[in-house]
Amino acid sequence: MAQQAGSDPAKPQPVSGILPPESIPPDLLGEFRNSLTLAEWTLAIEGEWYEDAYHGGSVSYLIRRHESGAWVFKSSERNTCLDDVTEEDVEDGRLSDDQLQALWGTTLEKAQNRVYERVVAAWIKPPDDAVMLAAARALYEFVVASGGKRIDDRSDHGLLVEPKRRKGRR
C-alpha cells in the first residue's frame, strides 16, 4: 500500500474514535468519572514528567474497559515536591515556591496524600478485537499528541513498559 504524501511512517497515526474529555458526550463522561475510584483499573504507564527545570511531577496513566465497551484512560497525579518535606521544614519555613503552593490551605499530611485523578481520553467505539495493550498504547499516544504529560522517566511497571534487554545478548 502506498504511503500518503506528507505522512510520516514513524509518527503514530490518529486512531478513529478516541476523544478528549471535552468531546465525550456529557452523560457518558459522567459515567466514566463515576468509575474513577473503582479498583478495576490497570496501570498502563507511570513515571516522572518534566516541563522544565522548575516544573515536573509524577503521573500514572491507567486504563479500564467501561460497560459500554469504550476504553477509558485516566491520569493520577500527586505532588512529589512534598515527598521529603517534614513538619519541621514547614515550621522553619524551609519550603520552595512549589511546596508552598502545594500546601496552600491544607496540612502537610493531607497535601502529601492528595491524589488528582481525571479522565484524559476515551476510545468510544473501539474495534471488537481491540485488546487492552493496543488500547493503552493508542490512548497514551493520543494524550501526549494532544498536549498531555509525556512521561520522561518511566517506572518499571505497567502495560507499556518494554522489557529491559540483558547485557551481552542481541
In a domain, 25, yes or no: yes
Which contiguous run of DSSP H or E holds residue 121?
Answer: strand 115-123
User: Is the pTM higher than 0.85?
Assistant: no
* Percent of the chain with pLDDT strictly greater than 90: 58
35 and 23 co-located in one domain: yes
Amino acid of residue 162: E
Query: What span, in angstroms and rounded, lies between the C-alpha atoms of 19 and 112?
Result: 32
- Angle (CA) 41-138-144 rounded to 5° is 95
**Arithmetic mean of pLDDT, 3-19:** 56
Amino acid 51: pLDDT: 83
55 and 73 co-located in one domain: yes
In a domain, 12, yes or no: no
pLDDT digits 0-9 by tens, 103-139: 999 999 999 999 899 999 999 999 988 899 999 999 9
71 and 121 co-located in one domain: yes
Domain range for 89 is 85-113
Cα distances from 30 to residues 33, 36, 37, 42, 119, in angstroms, run 5, 10, 13, 20, 10
- Quick check: 11 pLDDT over 70? no
- Quick check: 13 pLDDT over 70? no
- Quick check: 34 pLDDT over 80? yes
37 and 99 co-located in one domain: no
Query: What span, in angstroms and rounded, lies between the C-alpha atoms of 36 and 75?
Result: 10
Domains: count for the chain = 2
35 and 97 co-located in one domain: no
Query: What span, in angstroms and rounded, lies between the C-alpha atoms of 46 and 6?
Result: 33
99 and 143 co-located in one domain: no
69 and 121 co-located in one domain: yes
Query: What span, in angstroms and rounded, lies between the C-alpha atoms of 22 and 16?
Result: 16
59 and 104 co-located in one domain: no
Helix segments in the chain, DSSP class H: 26-34, 87-92, 97-103, 108-113, 132-145
Q: What is the mean pLDDT of the chain?
A: 86
